[in-house]
Each structure stands twice: as structure tokens, then as C-alpha cells.
């Protein structure tokens, strides 16, 4: 579940990090398949609203939650974002799905205080709920504008492998754990 960072916004189809993830999972953990339920522009409240139906329809073993960027870019309440993400984690748990929470950062023009309070939500929730965390989806290239579309927010196709490489080390243990459990 994600926003435009996971929905291939501005990219040729089948070139985003989630598609690359699906290809890697097919090779390394074929008992899983990847369903990309990301929507460009989605917020944590939108994700929360549609998660229950997805959990019932897809019945995932693992849910990757990459949401919050649009909350921050719109200056929405950090507390509301925290509540929505917590509700999504709780819903996943009630449906026997493990969670991988993916952190995002805001551009610096949103102010250091708001940006740090926003970013800290991901670590706080991961720690409190004992869920896996990708600290920052764009780690290692966020300051390289050559890897971003003209909007300076959405990574280009050539950055998608780096995004996958930021996610994979945190997802792989969840996949291996399921294999040992016989799921």
C-alpha cells in the first residue's frame, strides 16, 4: 500500500520499484506474489479507508505500508497521520499479516521542526509495534536531483533499483520467517 512513490508516477509502466520487487520475490520467494495497491496522491486516511477491503480480498501474509508523504506535503496533522498508520498496523495484525513500514522524509522547505516530527513517526510506530521498518525509502540518493523527475519529488526509472535495495533487506527476513513457519 503506497502512494505515487510506489505507483510508478511519471514512469513507464512496469519500471517502478514495486514491479522490481515482484520480479525479485518471484525468483527468491515464489510462495509469495506482490499486489501493488498503491495510488498516486493517496494519504494515510485514504489507505486506512481502503485497507480492510484489500485485506479481505487479497489475504496478504505481509503488508508493506509506504504512506504519509502526501499527508506531509499537504501539511496535514502529524497526529492524524500517526493514528491512521497505527490503525493500519492494527488492522493488518487482526488479519494475521505482518507489516513492513516504509519511512519517507519531506523536502527541507517544509521546515526542520515539522519535517523531523513527521519523519520520527515511522520509527516510533515501528518500535512501539515491533514491526519492520525501512528507515527512508530514498536513502542514498535523495539529494541527487539528477535521479528525480522535474518535480524533484518523484524518482526516475534509474532510481527504482536503489529504492528496492532500500526495502529488500527489511523485507527479506519477513519472507524467510514465513518460509520457516510453513506459510
Which residues are annotated as catalytic?
Answer: 4, 151, 154
Residue 146: burial class (beta carbons within 10 Å; 0-12, 13-18, 19+): exposed
Strand residue runs (E) in 61-104: 62-65, 98-102
Contacts of 22 (CB under 8 A, 6+ apart): 33, 34, 36
What is the grid cell recorded at 8? Answer: 510508478
Which uninterrupted H or E stretch holds 18? Answer: helix 17-28
Amino acid at each position: 500500500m503506497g502512494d505515487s512513490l510506489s505507483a510508478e508516477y511519471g514512469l513507464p509502466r512496469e519500471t517502478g520499484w514495486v514491479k522490481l520487487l515482484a520480479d525479485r520475490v518471484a525468483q527468491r520467494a515464489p510462495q509469495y506474489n506482490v499486489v501493488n495497491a498503491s495510488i498516486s496522491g493517496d494519504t494515510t486516511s485514504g489507505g486506512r479507508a481502503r485497507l480492510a477491503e484489500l485485506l479481505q480480498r487479497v489475504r496478504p501474509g505481509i503488508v508493506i505500508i509506504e504512506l504519509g508523504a502526501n499527508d506531509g506535503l499537504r501539511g496535514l496533522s502529524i497526529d492524524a497521520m500517526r493514528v491512521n498508520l497505527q490503525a493500519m498496523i492494527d488492522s493488518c495484525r487482526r488479519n494475521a499479516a505482518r507489516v513492513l513500514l516504509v519511512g519517507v522524509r519531506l523536502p527541507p522547505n517544509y521546515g526542520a521542526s515539522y519535517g523531523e516530527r513527521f519523519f520520527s513517526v515511522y520509527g516510533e510506530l515501528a518500535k512501539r509495534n515491533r514491526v519492520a521498518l525501512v528507515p527512508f525509502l530514498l536513502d542514498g540518493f535523495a539529494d541527487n536531483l539528477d535521479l528525480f523527475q522535474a518535480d524533484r519529488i518523484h524518482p526516475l526509472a534509474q532510481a527504482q533499483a536503489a529504492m528496492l535495495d532500500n526495502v529488500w533487506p527489511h523485507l527479506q527476513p519477513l519472507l524467510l520467517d514465513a518460509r520457516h513457519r510453513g506459510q
